[in-house]
Structure 1
Amino acid sequence: MRLNKFDLNNIVCLDALLAEKSITRAADRLFLSRPAMSNALARLREYFNDEILTQVGKTMVLTPFAQSLQVPVRDLLLRMQAITSASPSNIDLATVDRRLSVTCSDYVASIFIPLVLAHIYKRAPGIAFDIRPFSGRFLEEIESGEVDFLITSDTVISDEHPSERLFTDTFSCVIWDENKKFGDSIRLEEYLGLGHVVAQWGLGRVKALDEHFLREHNLNRRIETWVSTFTQIPQCVVGTDRVGTLPTRLARWAAQRWPLRIFECPVPIPPLVEMMQWHAYQQSDPVQTWVREQFRHIGSVLTTQDGN
């Protein structure tokens, strides 16, 4: 089908090329061969009378005109996705065949997601999930529609899209259970004087909530180990005199797997509030609406169990 002599079949290829800035990666994204994507790029260049992608050194970059197309093309496809996903609200969950993506921290992936998957599988086994690691691109992922759901702290969610609170958690400290330097608690001075293991994410080294709080209140701790996930913290504490600061549910989860002791955190870090967020265009998608209800249900179960 053509509109203003433009072959609409090429719009998906254009979006992939604009996003990936690479013929090979764009082809992989759409499960096409590289020659097929090269042919699509040739057609796009001819139609727009613009190179779209140009070689600069060893990389390809978008032309200024192509850059101007990124937002409207992505917006168009998101609108199309919302339209084509629409269906009557009385969906037959047993026959739904859908893949949904979720970006979240490994804390959420360890504590929350398994409960969600088991709960949803009982009623809608055809809904598959792509659980993606948290990175510095999380806001870009939700804005571009690259992921269906983002689950993260209320301090960093976007103001541009709908969101809802799932559950909250406090913070606790973990040390190796053979570390005999402490009794039943850790005082603030002791906490700050210990070597710490902390988590930071992605190439931009996104910092966790506890680190932001400490810096804002001029509380300096000695960081001796940086890891890329929460679940690496307890493993790196074992066998040392170091301390790790974790969401309390994850600390309890870790203590069942590694030789650890758990202490109340001596720093009054505000509770961690985990939110789910989705793109505004998916607000009325019946499958996503139902899945959000299940997320909400599991969040309430966690809250009831722990009283957080």
Structure 2
Amino acid sequence: MDHVDLNLLSALDALLSEGSVTGAARRLGLSPSAMSRTLARLRSATGDPLLVRAGRGLVATPYAAELGERVHTLSREVLAVLRPRVDQVDIAMLERTFTIRASEGFVAGLSAALVTAIATAAPRVRLRFAPKPEKGARPLREGQIDLEIGVLGPFAPEVRTQALFRDNFVGVARIGHPLLADTNITIERYAACNHVVASRRGEFSGPVDNALEELGLSRIVTCVVPGFPDAMRIARQTDLVGLVPRSCFGIGFDSDLADTVGLQSFELPVRTPEIVISAMWHPRLDADPAHRWLRETVVAVCRRANQHR
């Protein structure tokens, strides 16, 4: 098989997954020009254009679309077969980049402690925190991320999970807010306020509204934002009352979070479900000693932070 370059398989997988020469180049750590030359080699090898121009982008040909899933499976299997099997790894000498997808709250509250722990034990390891616009197992399945941190959602059944810590919602309001004038924050006074909530899906109602509804009450949600840090910033600068996980406010995690300045948290006058934050990963990485060390480090950092809550 001297005439077969298996590197082309990974390149084709990246091109078909990204649908872009630039995106594929970024994924493989190549320059766009090098990726363009690789695409030309792939076209010559397969006898098909594979990706053709459509407006400002590229679209897969019918043949390329037909190959997509096969190429992805073959690429992963080849990498698994050719990767050295090791049961132990010298963490101090480990050279690897781990991609972690986590919420803004986790990155704000715990990323500094995690980076410090990683750098101390493995100075050659790099961390990449990826944005989390939505939930889904596809990035784990395709190897785009190594570890997912957040609330367990409708993930694929094969995904491995480990609970990291438990959290709960608290209210936040600017210092001097009329609601905080009396330490007795009743359900009626809380419901009478205008509120800001965080929802990636843009939903106006949530667990607090369900609890209020059971008591025959409702609240006015004036504003919906994508993330909890956004809700905290609005609550700090307006009379809107926010709702965030306790960890986002820095209790027991990072008490110097900039977003907490000028804000005061308070216990909600209604009961809401507990939040369980978990680590999630694909089973192909289960036995990987380097990945196992990463998981253990994440667990240790979360436990240390949780002990001070």
Shorter-chain TM-score bucket reads: 0.7 to 0.9
Counterpart-to-counterpart distance in 2, 1:187 and 1:68: 61
- CA shift for structure 1 position 18: 0.6
Structure 1 gap segments, 5+ residues each: none
Q: Pick from 161, 164, 167 the counterpart of residue 166 of structure 1.
A: 164
Counterpart-to-counterpart distance in 2, 1:294 and 1:236: 34
Counterpart-to-counterpart distance in 1, 2:263 and 2:97: 38
- CA shift for structure 1 position 295: 1.5
Match of 2:281 in 1: 278
Q: CA 1:78 to 1:230, structure 2 compared with 1: closer, same or farther past 3 Å?
A: farther
Counterpart-to-counterpart distance in 1, 2:186 and 2:270: 9
Q: Deviations over 1:212-231 (max 9, x none)?
A: 43466684543333333322
Match of 2:72 in 1: 74
- CA shift for structure 1 position 72: 3.0
Mean Cα deviation higher: 148-157 or 284-293: 148-157
- CA shift for structure 1 position 142: 1.3
Relative to the length of structure 2, the TM-score reads 0.85
Match of 2:194 in 1: 195
Q: CA 1:137 to 1:300, structure 2 compared with 1: closer, same or farther past 3 Å?
A: closer
Q: CA 1:269 to 1:70, structure 2 compared with 1: closer, same or farther past 3 Å?
A: farther
The reply on whether 1:297 has 2:300 as its aligned counterpart is yes
- CA shift for structure 1 position 10: 1.0
> Aligned letter for 1:284?
A
Match of 2:131 in 1: 133
8 A contact 2:100–2:147 mirrored in 1: yes
Q: CA 1:218 to 1:79, structure 2 compared with 1: closer, same or farther past 3 Å?
A: farther
8 A contact 1:82–1:285 mirrored in 2: no
8 A contact 2:202–2:226 mirrored in 1: no
Task: Work out the number of aligned pairs and report it.
Answer: 299
> Aligned letter for 1:194?
C
Q: Pick from 207, 213, 230 the counterpart of residue 207 of structure 2.
A: 213
Q: Deviations over 1:132-160 (max 9, x none)?
A: 12112653211211011000102344423
Mean Cα deviation higher: 108-117 or 26-35: 26-35
Q: CA 1:34 to 1:295, structure 2 compared with 1: closer, same or farther past 3 Å?
A: closer
Structure 2 gap segments, 5+ residues each: none
Q: Secondary structure at the match of 1:54?
A: strand
8 A contact 1:16–1:26 mirrored in 2: yes
- CA shift for structure 1 position 60: 1.7
Relative to the length of structure 1, the TM-score reads 0.85
Counterpart-to-counterpart distance in 1, 2:29 and 2:147: 23
Q: Deviations over 1:182-232 (max 9, x none)?
A: 41243333333322222234xxx376xx95434666845433333333222
Report matched runs for 1:41-80 at 5 Å.
Answer: 41-80=39-78
Counterpart-to-counterpart distance in 2, 1:271 and 1:83: 42
Q: CA 1:83 to 1:165, structure 2 compared with 1: closer, same or farther past 3 Å?
A: farther
Counterpart-to-counterpart distance in 2, 1:212 and 1:6: 55
Q: Pick from 226, 229, 242 the counterpart of residue 228 of structure 1.
A: 226
Q: CA 1:193 to 1:141, structure 2 compared with 1: closer, same or farther past 3 Å?
A: farther
Counterpart-to-counterpart distance in 2, 1:90 and 1:303: 29
Q: CA 1:137 to 1:156, structure 2 compared with 1: closer, same or farther past 3 Å?
A: closer
Counterpart-to-counterpart distance in 2, 1:180 and 1:218: 21
The reply on whether 1:263 has 2:266 as its aligned counterpart is yes
> How big is the alpha-carbon RMSD for the aligned residues of Structure 1 and Structure 2?
2.7
